[in-house]
Amino acid sequence: MRRTDRRAVRDRIAGAIDGVDIPRPFDIAKFVRRLGKLRGRPIHLFAVELPTANDVRGLWLATGTEDFIFHELGTSKLHQENTILHEVAHMLLDHRGNGHLDEEQARLFFPDLDPAAVRDVFGRSAYGKVLEQEAEFGAAVLWELIGRRLVPDRDLDPASAAVVDRFDEVLGDVR
């Protein structure tokens, strides 16, 4: 199985957002709007209610002219932003799924539409493990490039520092 090439992911993400004016203070909606303008394709964000039993937290759908990112409504702002950046990473890395949503996913994201019609037109049911790792790393790169940190600058107790160091070891330097 192929492994994630972190340097290549970092370079692709950095190149894809080069020229985006990062809003200060950071605002995810403004960032995504500016990114869409740079790409020549509007990006629309939708917060949706997702059941806690489902492991889907976000979804990127691309049409011929626009991109749609759905993210969980019932979670923290930080988690929503991370989900959005994860989906943006899939988009910027040009990940392509299998063009199929299962019926449960179709009902979650499009409750007013016939699931059979939706699942064959939009989305992906799952990316492979490597593409998910790339998107996770891509989101971490986006956090770094936009100048925000998931772990704020502060002294950590030794146990917490060890956990952060382990994440850095697994995901690369995300601080």
Per-residue pLDDT tens digits of the chain, which is 175 residues long: 456 688 888 999 999 999 999 988 889 999 999 999 999 999 999 998 876 656 678 888 888 888 999 898 888 898 999 999 999 999 999 887 655 566 676 676 667 766 665 554 444 445 567 788 888 899 999 999 988 765 555 566 666 666 765 666 566 544 4
In a domain, 68, yes or no: yes
Question: What pTM did the predictor assign?
Answer: 0.72
In a domain, 88, yes or no: yes
Domain count within the chain:
1
Nearest alpha-carbon partner for 107 in 95, 123, 91:
123
Rounded to whole angstroms, the Cα distance separating 56 from 98 reads 16
CATH number at residue 68: 1.10.10.2910
Rounded to whole angstroms, the Cα distance separating 92 from 8 reads 12
Helix residue spans in 52-128 (DSSP H): 77-92, 103-109, 115-119
Rounded to whole angstroms, the Cα distance separating 116 from 20 reads 38
